[in-house]
Structure 1
Amino acid sequence: MSKPRWWAELSLIAVVYAAYSGGRLLVRGDEASAVAHGLGILRVERALGIDAESPLNRLFTDVPALGVPADFAYASLHYLVTPALLIWLFRRRPAEYRAARTWLTVSTLLGLVGFTLLPTCPPRLLDPAYGFTDTMAHFSAYGWWGGEASAPRGLGGMTNQYAAMPSLHVGWALWCGVMLWRYGRTPAAKALGVAYPLLTTVVVMGTANHYLLDAVAGAAVMGAGLLLTPHALRFVGRLRGRAEAPPVVSGGCETSTGERIPGQRSVTTSADDTSTWGLPCPSGAEDSGKAR
Structure 2
Amino acid sequence: MELILIAAVYAAYSGGRLLARGDASTAVAHGLSLLRVEDTFGLALERPLNRLFTATPALGVPADFVYASLHYLVTPAVLVWLFRRRPARYRAARAWLMTSTLLGLVGFVLMPTCPPRLLDAAHGFTDTMAQFSAYGWWGGEASAPRGLGGLTNQYAAMPSLHVGWALWCGVMLWRYGRTPLLRTLGVAYPLLTTVVVMGTANHYLLDAVAGAAAMGRGCCSPRTCSASWTGSRAAPGPVPASRSRPARRRWPAGAAMG
- Using the size of structure 2 for normalisation, the TM-score is 0.86
CA shift digits 1:140-196 (9 cap, x unpaired): 000000011201100011000000000000000000000000011111110110000
1:228–1:29 Cα change, 3 Å: farther
Contact 2:66 2:196 (8 Å CA) reproduced: yes
Q: CA deviation at 1:229?
A: 7.0
Confirm or deny: 8 A CA contact 1:106 1:228 kept in the other structure: no
Q: Distance in 2 between matches of 1:183 and 1:73?
A: 24
1:119 counterpart residue number:
112
Answering whether residue 209 of structure 2 is matched by residue 222 of structure 1, we say no
Deviation at 1:24, TM superposition (A): 1.0
- 2:6 aligned to 10, 13, 20, which one? 13
> What amino acid sits opposite 1:179 in the alignment?
M
Indicate the residue corresponding to 1:61 in structure 2.
54
SS of the residue corresponding to residue 133 of structure 1 reads coil
| 1:187 counterpart residue number | 180
**Mean CA deviation greater in 166-175 or 220-229:** 220-229
The whole-number CA distance in structure 2 between the counterparts of 1:206 and 1:50 is 14
Q: Is the 8 A contact 2:99 2:220 kept in 1?
A: no
Structure 2 CA distance for aligned equivalents of residues 131 and 44 of structure 1: 16
1:165 counterpart SS class: coil
How far 1:228 moved relative to its partner? Answer: 3.7
- Check the 8 A contact 2:96/2:224 in 1, yes or no: no
For the residue of structure 1 that corresponds to 2:218, the secondary structure is helix
Structure 2 CA distance for aligned equivalents of residues 52 and 10 of structure 1: 38
In structure 2, the partner of 1:71 is 64
Q: How large is the Cα RMSD of the aligned pairs?
A: 1.2
Matched, 1:26 2:19: yes
2:155 corresponds to which residue? 162
Runs of 4+ aligned structure 1 residues displaced above 6 Å come to none
| Structure 2 counterpart of 1:202 | 195
SS at match of 1:226: coil
| Correspondence list, 1:36-115, <5 A | 36-115=29-108
Residue 227 of structure 1: how far off its partner (Å): 5.1
Equivalent position amino acid for 1:73 in 2 = V
- Alpha-carbon separation, structure 2, partners of 1:33 and 1:138: 26
Contact 1:99 1:229 survives alignment (8 Å): no
Flag structure 1 segments of 5+ consecutive residues without an equivalent: 1-7, 233-292
Q: Identify if the C-alpha distance between structure 1 residues 12 and 229 changes in structure 2 by more than 3 Å, giving closer, same or farther.
A: farther
What SS does structure 2 have at the residue aligned with 1:137? Answer: helix
Maintained 8 Å contact 1:102/1:229: no
| Alignment pair present for 1:176 and 2:169 | yes
Which of 20, 25, 28 pairs up with 1:35? 28
Greater relative contact order (CA < 8 Å, ≥ 6 in sequence): 2
Paired residues in the alignment total 225
Q: Which structure 2 residue ranges, 5 or more long, are not aligned?
A: 226-258
Cα distance, 1:230 vs. partner?
4.2
Question: Over alpha carbons, which structure has the higher Rg?
Answer: 1
